[in-house]
Amino acid sequence: MDCKSLRSHIVDSRFYRSGYSTEEARLIFCDLRRMQRWLDVEAALATSQASLGIIPLSAADELIQTADLHQLDLNEVSRSIQSTGHSLIPLLSAWQQVTSSQSAAYIHYGATTQDIQDTAQSLEIKEVLSIVERDLCLVIQELIGLARRTRNLVIVGRTHGQHALPTTLGLKVAVWLDEMLRNGERLRESKKRVLVSQLFGGVGTMAAFSGLGLELLTDFSKRLKLSAPRTAWHASRDRVTELLSYMAILAGGLGNIANEICQLARNEICELEEPFHLGKIGSTTMPHKRNPELCEQVVVLSRLIKNQAISGFDGLINEHERDYRSVRLEWASIPESSLMLCCALNLVKTILKNLIIHEEHIAANLDKSACHVSTEALMSGLGSKTGKPKAHELIYDVAMKSYASNRPLRELLEENPDITDKLNPNELAELLNPENHIGIAPKLAEITISSAEEWLASSHPEDLSESTCPLADKHGECTLQMET
């Protein structure tokens, strides 16, 4: 086996990558595509400079034609990166080799390396956020449908891991939905700040742009469909920190949904279950197992993404006008967070679309605990005749005796004269029926559903169905070849 052709990172593993990334997201961070993106940014710079008379139009025209990775000696680029220790100069040198000397003189004219690489990184982020927005909208659609179908399905509500009061499954889902709506709003706001260009020169003064720096920045940004920042952000990396923090928040919300499904899939609860198909194996030693592997993986991804957000905060502290340490952190943290977030969204879409709802177990759990989860209503009904403190004392005493004796709470309530003297059998039965005590849970679910539908109606995520790598052939294979 030729180990040189194998992948060492889990996101690229031939065997396990589907649990950590998606093919669509991996294409964005292909290193060849990254270099082509740098060339694309350089070409946009040359075009903008020519339009302002900073460089000759003929030079820009040729640079656009030769800014093509297919024309360059990539093996030499790779070797030169190792010998020079510079990330961009070897690529520019290879570009010069296929360009006339008259035009090559205007390659990378007035820009600094980080101008090009930060701008290209913003383009990468833009692609990632387009996938995130599209899939977040799909998750929201699934949650809307699930909340609507289950808005009246009464279940046991739990606090501190214990049966608490009745609620509805629809309201539980609506809480998830509301959080995803907030994440959608965060995404819209964040894009305004994060998706910006960078073109300020060595120390941010635009000194090399013939006094036309601001006009050049505006035109350059417009061509790349990015916003123009007010000042250089070479050493001011709060935008990236915001991005990584947003990804961690969204991933945490997805992990929370997955974890709740995990907990409700326990054998002793068995109310919800992630999708299952014959052939899915849970254990090498226990053939009966139906493990919540998809949900657990979402939780794993959310924790990994959170860890990457920490490096964003480390990158906030830099020296003077430029410091590449934060950029090198970002080259690891942004791709990993992006790949794993896209994977988490994809997994949650699958889980919600095919979620198994065990209504018979929901009903059985509710029936078994009907009296306990109705004690708030019982205390209110009894308290109207005895006062709340006395009602709480009576019901607490009976409930603790039920736990200690393992006798049904209802039996002990019906045997207690202090209670039966105040409440007739019909009144007691009504108070102990959990379906009578779900408050306005269905209405709250409907309010959230309506808000979500309004938000979706105002969303216009980019159609990525035709998105492909510009370096790939019709079969999706990269057309560039390098030595391994």
Confidence of residue 24 (pLDDT cuts 50, 70, 90): very high
pLDDT value at 473 more than 60:
no
In this predicted model, what pLDDT tens digit does every residue of 317-344 receive, in sequence order?
999 998 888 899 999 999 999 999 999 9
Q: How far is CA 325 from the centre of its chain?
A: 26
Do 159 and 182 fall within a single domain? yes
Q: How confident is the model at residue 475 (pLDDT cuts 50, 70, 90)?
A: very low
Flag whether 447 is in a domain.
no
358, 376: one domain: no
Q: Are residues 310 and 428 in the same domain?
A: no
Q: Is residue 318 part of a domain?
A: yes
In degrees, rounded to 5, the angle at the alpha carbon of residue 179 between the alpha carbons of residues 155 and 342 is 110
pLDDT at residue 8 in the model? 75
Q: Say which residues have a Cβ less than 8 Å from residue 296's Cβ, sequence separation at least 6.
A: 258, 262
Residue ending a domain, among 345, 365, 385, is 365
Look at strands 154-159 and 162-168 and give their pairing: antiparallel
With a pLDDT cut of 70, the percent of the chain lying above it is 93
240 & 293 share domain: yes
143 and 240 belong to one structural domain: yes
The share of the chain scoring above pLDDT 90, in percent, equals: 79
Closest CA to 376 of 408, 404, 399: 399
Tell whether 98 and 243 lie within a shared domain: no
pLDDT digits (tens, 9 = 90+) for 413-425: 999 999 899 999 9
Q: Pick the most confident of 193-197, 290-294, 426-430.
A: 193-197
CA–CA distance, 313 with 54 (Å, rounded to integer): 38
Q: Which of 308, 331, 365 is the last residue of a domain?
A: 365
What mean pLDDT is predicted for residues 146-150? 97
Token digits for 22? Answer: 């998606």
- The answer as to whether 439 is a domain residue is no
Torsion of CA 444, 447, 449, 451, to 10 degrees: -140
User: In this predicted structure, what is the pLDDT of residue 462?
Assistant: 72
Cα–Cα distances in Å, from 81 out to 88, 89, 94, 239, 326?
Answer: 8, 8, 11, 28, 20
- Active-site positions? 160, 283
Distance CA 21, CA 144 (A): 26
Residues 97 and 225 grouped into a single domain: no
Residue 19 binned pLDDT confidence (cut-offs 50, 70, 90) = confident
Q: Is residue 15 part of a domain?
A: no
Mean pLDDT value across residues 241-261: 98
φ/ψ (deg, to 5) at 273: -155, 140
What is the overall mean pLDDT for the chain? 91
* Structural domain boundaries, residue 82: 20-104
Residue identified by tokens 């790349």 is: 224
d(CA 395, CA 392): 5
Query: Who wins on pLDDT, 24 or 8?
Result: 24
pLDDT score of 309 more than 50: yes
Provide the CATH number for the domain around residue 194: 1.20.200.10
Confidence of residue 6 (pLDDT cuts 50, 70, 90): low
Cα distance from N-terminal residue to C-terminal residue, the chain? 14
- Both 314 and 383 in one domain: the answer is no
The pLDDT of residue 469 is 58
What is the distance between the alpha carbons of residues 210 and 219, in angstroms, rounded to a whole number? 15
| For range 22-33, the mean pLDDT | 93
Residues 234 and 379 in one domain: no
pLDDT attached to residue 121: 97
Last residue within a domain, chosen from 333, 365, 397: 365
Residue 9 lies in a domain: no
Domain contains 10: no
Give the lowest-confidence range in 29-33, 419-423, 475-479.
475-479
- Provide the domain count of the chain: 3
Cα gap 341→20, rounded to integer Å:
9
Q: Are residues 118 and 163 in the same domain?
A: yes
Q: What is the DSSP letter of 228?
A: P
Residue 11 domain-assigned (yes or no): no
Q: Does residue 24 fall inside a structural domain?
A: yes
Q: Based on the fold, state whether residues 413 and 337 are members of the same structural domain.
A: no
**How do residues 382-404 score in pLDDT, each as one tens digit?**
889 899 999 999 999 999 999 99
Do 217 and 306 lie in a common domain?
yes
* Residue count (the chain): 484
Query: Residue 15 forms beta bridges with which residues?
Result: none
Per-residue pLDDT, averaged over 349-373, amounts to: 94
The whole-angstrom separation of Cα 73 and Cα 97 is 9
Residue 464 has pLDDT above 90, yes or no: no
- Residues 79-90 pLDDT 10s: 999 999 888 999
Measured at the CA of 401, the angle between CA 399 and CA 407, to 5 degrees, comes to 90
CATH of the domain at 78: 1.10.275.10
